[in-house]
Amino acid sequence: MLARQSAGTGRGTAPGSPQNGCCAVIPGIQAVWIPSPTVVPISATPGMENQRIILWATLLFLLWMMYQAWQDDYAPTPSTPTVGEQPAQAGDALPDLPEPGEAPAIKPAPEGMPALETESSVRGGGTVTVSTDVLEVEISTVGASLTRVSLPEYPIKKGEPDKPVVLLNDEPATRFLMHSGLRGSGGTEPNHRAPFSTGATEYRLAEGDDELKVVFDWVDGGGLAAEKVFTFTRGSYAIELEQTLVNRSGEDWRGAPYMQIQRRNVPQERSMFDVDTFSFTGPVIYDGEKYDKLDVDDLADEPVNQTVTGGWIAAIQHYFLVAAVPPGEQSFNYQARLAAGDYLISEIGPAEVVPAGETRTFTQTLWLGPKLQADLEKIAPGLELTVDYGVLTVLAKPLFWLLQKVYQFLGNWGWSIIVVTFLIKLVFYKLTETQGRSMAKMRKLQPRLKNLQERYKDDKQALSKGMMDLYKREKVNPAAGCLPILIQIPVFLSFYWVLLESAELRQAPFMLWITDISSRDPFFILPVLMGAAMFGQFKLNPTPTTDPVQAKVFMIMPLIMTGMMAFFPAGLVLYWLTNTLLSIAQQWHINKKLGA
């Protein structure tokens, strides 16, 4: 589901209003009066009343639909098991492994699912730590599984570098693990429950080295041996994994490699004041063509089981993801299910034969880090889709590309936002000029429209006819400003989501007191400036209605928007402020030119 919040619209009219229509308010753009599609005079007051009732009913229906869409995507559901509802060892029940003589199937039954690791076995083994310039990793000797990954370059809060973002961890309440292994046709196998050994308890990427290899070994005593090699690269959040099986048993070995991501399903409380809660958090699958976000609650009744070529699996959250990318040329079986409060998403490869005396190596690419779009595109096709722009991706990706190009020149994301906002305004200059001319002409007609309202306050039919005659005589089309707005809205909303979703902008400084454009203005200065700019825009443009009640509603809109935007990221407020100021400058220029 790709639910998105969008700029709100307010619609309304009143009996006696000379502008038989409604008004759409687009924050940071302009207030646009939209006439009703009916241009014939309305002969009686009840008709006006009925029209007002229909408009308000339509508005309430739209608000209800928006609320339902928000609830469907973001509201926590009582059916999801929470940490407090599950016993500490609820995940210990293991599905059966394949019986001797059976090879892991390309389309395995539920019992073919890679085994669910237990909390006790992970903690019972030794822990190996690996440090690079961008990753701090802990690997358990039980299964050589990744049990903790932290990102020293990404603190949770700005100014607290000793508290980095933690992705993987083995704490029961927030369990988030990554398993790998080989499933065999019978007997012992190097799966993620098997004991592995390594030469040291600590590995560190040395100064001057660009690569670090960490090797884990497994032997079963019957002639089988396995090796897991994790390769870390300087400056990269990608980890290359090689699993090698050495067959000295005297018999052919049949089996398949697998990867599994296991995460505790903790329902997220949504808040409009916390942008982290706007983004989807949960499992995703890419099947080579389509990117699918999985509803964890649905997995309890409808587990996923599909064969995929050229895809990947991942668990995502705002700004960060954990992903496993198998070789693109092979068909892997992808599975996802909910078990005892954890969701598990896995991929298992096709069964292969390793003849006696031979060796076979299976490779995977892992990503554990921020959603850096340029890097993700190099790892696997479609992996950059985890930066969730939703249905606006087709517009948002070019906008981000432009923003990044400007940043490469300026070296400051805040100034880049200002420049790109100016460029967007420039692209739409001709369209908004048409809108601005219509607004300026409407402003000139306001006194005459008010006179008509006073003259025909008791004759609605004559009032409507007088308005139509005035518009025709002065060659004014009140609807001329609507089309430019409709064309611009998708672009502005796309830019909004670019600023909200792009990890590259996380905790980026701007200037003066704005040290982090991804969090709110600590002193609320930008929201106040934005509100003042919106009020100035309101005074510059014609009042959308001569009805005094509606006029007061529009007058307090800047105050309402200031309150809403006060808790939004400073980068978003900077964007709205810049766009509003540019709109004021353009409208002032048009008014001056038409006045001359």
DSSP state string for 232-252:
EETT--EEEEEEEEEE-SSS-
* Residue 27 pLDDT: 42
DSSP 588: H
Tens of pLDDT, residues 389-424: 878 888 899 999 999 999 999 999 999 999 999 998
* Residue 92 pLDDT: 32
Tell me the C-alpha distance between 272 and 460, whole Å. 43
Q: If pLDDT is split at 50, 70 and 90, which confidence band does 146 have?
A: very high
In 318-454, the DSSP E strands lie at 320-325, 331-339, 342-348, 352-354, 359-370
Q: Does 40 or 507 have the greater pLDDT score?
A: 507
Q: If pLDDT is split at 50, 70 and 90, which confidence band does 594 have?
A: low
User: What is the average per-residue pLDDT within 151-155?
Assistant: 94
Burial zone of 74 (CB within 10 Å; 0-12 exposed, 13-18 middle, 19+ buried): middle
Structural domains for the chain:
26-74+405-595 (no CATH), 95-382 (2.70.98.90)
Is the pLDDT at 89 greater than 70? The verdict is no
Strands 202-204 and 127-131: parallel
Q: Are 57 and 83 in contact (CB under 8 A)?
A: no
Q: If pLDDT is split at 50, 70 and 90, which confidence band does 244 have?
A: very high
- 124: closest CA among 172, 174, 195, 191? 195
Judged by DSSP in three states, 184 sits in strand
Instruction: Average the pLDDT over each of 48-62, 281-295, 305-319, 352-366 and give the range with the smallest value.
Output: 48-62
Q: Does 548 or 412 have the greater pLDDT score?
A: 412
Q: Are 284 and 376 in contact (CB under 8 A)?
A: no
Q: If pLDDT is split at 50, 70 and 90, which confidence band does 272 have?
A: low
Tens of pLDDT, residues 92-143: 333 333 333 333 333 333 344 344 333 333 334 689 999 999 999 999 999 9
Give one DSSP letter per residue of 363-385, joined into a string.
Answer: EEEEEEEE--HHHHHHHSTTGGG
Tens of pLDDT, residues 520-540: 888 888 888 988 888 887 777
Tell me the C-alpha distance between 306 and 441, whole Å. 61
Listed in sequence order, the residues at least 6 apart from 386 whose beta carbon sits closer than 8 Å to its beta carbon are 284, 291, 314, 316, 321, 323, 371, 376
Name the one residue in this structure whose structure tokens are 């928000």.
70
Judged by DSSP in three states, 262 sits in strand
User: What is the average per-residue pLDDT within 208-218?
Assistant: 95
Judged by DSSP in three states, 222 sits in coil
Q: Which residues of 81-104 are buried (b: 16+ CB within 10 A; e: fewer)?
A: beeeebeeeebeeeeebbeeebbb
Here the contacts of 393-399 (C-beta below 8 Å, separation 24 or greater) are 395/490, 395/491, 395/494, 396/494, 396/495, 396/497, 396/498, 396/501, 399/424, 399/491, 399/494, 399/495, 399/498
Tell me the C-alpha distance between 269 and 271, whole Å. 7
Is the pLDDT at 37 greater than 50? The verdict is no
Tell me if the pTM is above 0.85: no
Give the number of other Cβ atoms within 10 Å of residue 180's Cβ. Answer: 25
* Residue 86 pLDDT: 33
* Residues facing 219 on adjacent strands: 225
The length of the chain, given as a count of residues: 596
